[in-house]
Every structure is written in structure tokens, then in C-alpha cells.
Structure 1
């Protein structure tokens, strides 16, 4: 909170408190205007002064720096000085303060102890306010630091996606070029469209789901080119996707994994990919037949990356089920958009 707003709220609180006391006292016919001036104006100014002496000086300079003995001396000295000051003011206006019924005058010790009690209340309130304000400030700082840490981690995770994807895609295009395939230029063009999306349209925290699905479609087309249009994939999207958004580059790792570790050129066991979208949820399903001679574990950097991003960006809003069975590898992701 900015300083001017802090000052405003402090002034507002004290004005309301003093006005409330004056309003209550004004209803008592036995209390004169002079009583109100002394009891509800001059004395509150003294008590409020003690409040801020502790709040702005003693706590920051002594208590926060663990100078407990100096703080205790400062508090005791202030209680004595302010108590004597209040008694001096009471002597000046003794007919309003010290004088009681039947001409009885309150003694020094009795009055001094009562002022000490009042001063302790204001010291307690200022200490409680200071520690409460510091606690909220520290909590905000911790949240900011945690958000910065998470932002840095997300930036690092996202920075891994492009090199990882590019590495796999270049391997595919290299295979086409090595085979002198006529589809190599088309593959390079498709890759350029994919990279344009990744570099220029994925900078926001979320992107339109329709654009993300188009990006996945382009990747699938690139893989079909790699397999000379002999890659078989049963790909279906259901539901209204026009108004939905999703964290970018979140689903690609599962599809990459299916093409890299699965059998894509068997028309009897195509890669099955289903994306179902409703008003609030996305259900992603992909299954592929596993290579019998593939000894590399499925996943690696890509899946570990996406799991961590799901934890950070969709906490308690997703369910990821990965089934690595003897012949098939299946991924199901349910996500609250």
C-alpha cells in the first residue's frame, strides 16, 4: 500500500474513533464542552502520539533489530514521561479531570497508574498493528518471490520445448533428405509454419484452443510426410473449441511420443487420438502400438516437462493417466480449461 493511502486510512480511523467518543460523551448532560475538549481531544492526541512513537520509532529501531533491553528501557521511559505529562495536564484542568463528586480530588499515584494502564493499551495496539502489517508485507513479498521463481521455472521449461521439438523434427526431415524424397520441401515448409506458431504466437500464458489444435494438426501432417503418407492416425476432435483457451505447447509431447516410440505405419493399429471439449473441460486421449524392438523408455524430457507444467499451471485441475502396457501405450488427460 502506498504511503499516502496508509496515512489516509490512519487519519480516517482516528477521526472516526475520536468522533465516536465525542458523540457518546455529548449525550451525557453532565459533561461540559471543556470536558470534551480535554478528555476527548487533548488526551487522545497524547495517546495517539505514544501509539506512533512505538509504531514508527521504537519497534523499527529496537524491537525489529532484537535490541530488547533498549526497547524495554524506551517503553518504560515513555510510560513514565507520558504519565507525568498527563498528570501535569490533569493538574491544569483539575476541575475537569481530578475533581470528583463531593469535592474529592484524585491522588497522584491513583491517577498515574490509571494513565499507565491506558498507555499500555495504546502500546499494545500499535505493536499488534505493526506485527500484523509486517506479516502481511512479508507474505506478499514471499508470494512475489514464489511467483518469480515459478515464472522463471516455467520460462525454463518452455525454453526446453523448442529445442526438443526442433531436434525431433530435424531428424525426420534429415531422413527425408537422405532418401532424396520429393516431399522434403513440403516438410520444411510445414516445419516453418510450426516454428512460426511456436516463436510468435505462444508468448502469452494461454492461447486459443483452435490455434493449438491447428498446430497439432500441422505436426501430424509433418509426420505423415515423413512416413510418405503411410502414417495411419485416427484423429478426431469433438465439441466447441472456438471460445476456449489452453496453455500453449502442452499436448504436443504426447503426440511426439506416440510417433517416436509407437507403430505409425500399420493400418490395422493406427495411432488413436481423440480430443473432446465441453464448456469447461478438455479430455485428451492417445494410444499407440509399441515397437517390439524399441528399448528406449517412452517419455523422456518431453513428458517430464509437460507433467511439471501441468503441476504449475493447472494445480488440482487435471488428471493424467499413463498406461505403459505390454503392447500399447496410452495417455489420458482430463483438464479444467
Structure 2
């Protein structure tokens, strides 16, 4: 019983590990090239065999001529095309290619045909007509088929490789730019929070330990969760709530913050730290430390596959008013728009409204299917 079980397990394991090997074999360049030439010989052997009604002679002729065609094809693909055609030296390329084809055709017609092919495979069909210029041109045209087919394949492969390299380069640039843009958010936020903590410690406030705890949670989010391409929407909103709590501790009674959420956020994904800059700028540019009665309204709605974020703030005092206008036309909004273009191209709308006493930003994101 035990021996049979082991044998069955071994057979099952063997089947499993052999599948990747089969896949690797089919992806091998050597196998692909051999497969191409087999298909070529079979196709043209059947084609010419049906024409002369002699499949054996047709296949034997194709096999005898095959080494010459293979040499011509690979010399063209790996020497002439990279050296001349891809360097846009077209006249030189076609001159050398036609010259080489003429030499191969002459070798096949005046050496291979009368001294090997006809004596061995079709001695009764060898006539002087097979050595005429017309026959020479016809043989050259026949050779040009395989040269043209392989050249097109090589050009398509070269084009695809360049397209793939261009896409990879573009993706690398986008990722690098996103890291820079995201990096501009982290130090800014950390600097503001540390300033708040410093102010509380100077006052020996009882809120300092709570600030440290919330700051620790926010730092954990920034350093780890925010490195992902997307995060759950509830985590992003929890991050915003913690940020608002810190700012409430900082400003106390001087600011009235209203934060509302509507709609189902479960299962939704969003780019990390995409919503926070709107809230951060509302505090930074809409609340002055010298004046009271400031207000901020933050409304988050999820409607079907749309996320709508509306952030409004008052302009309290001349300094806050000026800084809000700076944000509307400066680096802050440019940073946000650039991140949105990179991450949500064609899937977002961002509108701002700059009034004498208030500033509002409305973001609508397409979250995709749940």
C-alpha cells in the first residue's frame, strides 16, 4: 500500500514539474527556428509537389536547397539588416542583398541543379531550359519568398522589442516621478505635525502623548501602506481622520471641522495619500493661528463607482487668504494634478472655486469595478 502510494505520488509530481519544462522548450529560440523551417519545407514541398504531381522529388529538392536558403536568410537577418537596413542605409542594403541572392541563385542553378538535383532525383527532366536566364530569374523569385518572409518577421520582432523597451522606459519614468511627487507630501506633513507636537510640549499639554500615538500610526501608514499602488479606501479615510484629530488638538477651539462620509466604501481601492493633500491644504491655507472662527468642510461620497471629495475652507485673515491663492496656482495644485494625470488619466475631474471668503476643491475619481 505504501509503495503504491509513493509511486503514484512520484508520477503525479513528475507530471507537475514537466509542464514548465515543456513551456521552456516551446519558448526556446532554437526550437522556434527549427519549427519555422519544418513548416517552410512542408508547405512549399506540398505546393510544388501538387504542381508537378511528384511530392517525393519536390520534398527532396527543398531539402537539398535548404542549407543555401538558411545561409542566405541568417546572413540577411543578422548581418545585412542590422548593419544597413536598420541604419537606414537602404541602397547599400538592397545592393548587397540582391547581389547575394544572385550568387546563391547562380550556385543553385548552375552547380546544384545540374550536378546533384537532376542526376539524383529527376534525371529525365534535366534539359537545357533549366539553365536559361528565364529559369535563373524564376529561381531568384522563388528564393525571394523566404527572404521576404523572414525579413518581415525580423522587422516585426525588432519593432515589438523597441515598443516594449519604450513602454518599460516610460513606466520607469512614471514610477520615478510618482515617487518624487509622493516624497514631496511626506516631509511637508511630517514637518507640520512635528511643529504641532513641539508647540504642545512647550505648553506641557496633556495632549502631547495622544499626538505622539496618532503620529506613530500615521508614520506607519506613510512608510509601509503608502508604498503600495493602491490601498483600501477605508484606510485612506482613517488616515485623514487621524490627521484631522491632530489638527484639532493643534488649533483647539479656533477651527470648526465638519467631516462626513456617505456611501459604501467597503472593498474600494484608491491611490495612497491621494486625498490627504486636499485636507492638509485646507488647514494650512484656510486656518490662521492668529484668528478664530475658522471653518473647514470635508465631504466624502461614494456613488456607484465614483468617489467625490469636496473640501471647503474659509479664508481667515490676510495671511491665510494669500496662501490659499498661492495654493490655487502654485506647486500644491500642480503636484496634485500631475499625480492624478499619472494615476487616473481620463478617470478624474478636479474643479476649484476661489471666492473672496472661501476656497473649495472638488475631486471626482472613477474607482472602477468593485
TM-score, scaled to structure 2: 0.79
Distance 1:25 1:76 in 2: 24
Could you list the runs of 5+ residues in structure 2 that have no partner in the other structure? 1-23
How far apart are the structure 2 equivalents of 1:292 and 1:277? Answer: 34
Residue 323 of structure 1: CA displacement? 0.9
Pair 1:310 & 2:333 matched: no
Match of 1:74 among 69, 91, 96: 96
1:116: Cα distance to partner?
2.1
In structure 1, the residue matched to 2:355 is 325
Structure 2 residue 167 is the aligned partner of structure 1 residue 143? yes
RMSD: 3.0
State the alpha-carbon separation in 2 of the partners of residues 107 and 25 from structure 1. Answer: 19
The separation in 1 between residues aligned to 2:145 and 2:42, in whole angstroms, is: 19
Q: How far apart are 1:313 and its partner, in Å?
A: 1.0
Cα distance in 2 for residues equivalent to 1:234 and 1:50:
77
Paired position in structure 2 for 1:259: 283
Larger relative CO (CA 8 A, sep 6+): 1 or 2?
1
Distance in 1 (alpha carbons) for counterparts of 2:357 and 2:347: 30
What's the counterpart of residue 225 of structure 1?
249
Aligned 8 A contact 2:352 2:362 in 1: yes
CA contact (8 A) 1:271 1:287 kept: yes
SS at match of 1:227: helix
Tell me, in whole angstroms, the C-alpha distance in 1 between the residues paired with 2:300 and 2:158: 49
Structure 2 CA distance for aligned equivalents of residues 71 and 29 of structure 1: 35
The yes-or-no answer on 1:215 pairing with 2:245 is no
Report SS of the residue matched to 2:300. Answer: strand
Residue 279 of structure 1 and its aligned partner are, at CA, apart by 4.4
Offset from partner CA, 1:101-132 (integer Å, 9 cap, x none): 9x773343121121222233333333333322
Give the 3-state SS of the residue equivalent to 2:365 in structure 1. strand
Mapping 1:41-80, distance limit 5 Å: 41-64=63-86, 71-72=93-94, 74-80=96-102
What's 2:192 paired with? 168
| CA 303–176 in structure 1, closer or farther in 2 if over 3 Å, else same | farther
Residue 237 (structure 1) aligns with: 261
Consecutive unaligned residues of structure 1, counting only runs of 5 or more, are none
Match of 2:314 among 277, 282, 289: 289
Shift of 1:178: 4.0
Are the equivalent residues in 2 in contact too, given 1:284–1:333 (CA < 8 A)? Answer: yes
Q: 8 Å contact 2:196–2:250 — kept in the other structure? A: yes
Q: 1:37 corresponds to which residue?
A: 60
Deviations 1:43-62, CA, capped at 9 Å, x for gaps: 34433432222012222344
Between the two proteins, the alignment pairs up a number of residues equal to 333
Change (3 A) 1:187 1:301: farther
TM-score for the superposition, normalised by structure 1: 0.86
- Aligned pair in 2 of structure 1 residues 262, 98: CA closer, same or farther (>3 Å)? farther
Cα deviation, residue 301, structure 1:
4.1
* Higher mean C-alpha displacement, 9-18 vs 49-58: 9-18
Q: Aligned in 2, Cα 1:183/1:330: closer, same or farther, shift over 3 Å?
A: same
SS at match of 1:321: strand
**SS of equivalent residue, structure 2 residue 310:** strand
**Structure 1 residues 97 and 48, CA, compared in 2 at 3 Å: closer, same or farther?**
farther
Distance apart, 1:161 and its partner CA: 1.3
Q: Is the 8 A contact 1:287 1:331 kept in 2?
A: yes
Cα distance, 1:157 vs. partner?
1.3
CA distance in 1, matches of 2:30, 2:130: 38
Q: How does 1:88-167 map to 2 (within 5 A)?
A: 88-92=111-115, 93-94=117-118, 105-167=129-191
Distance 1:80 1:192, change over 3 A: same
> What SS does the aligned partner of 1:151 have?
helix
Distance 2:125 2:272 in 1: 78
| SS class of match (1:181) | coil
Could you tell me whether the CA contact under 8 Å between 2:46 and 2:58 is conserved in 1? Answer: no
Determine the C-alpha separation between the residues in 1 that align with 2:364 and 2:46: 61
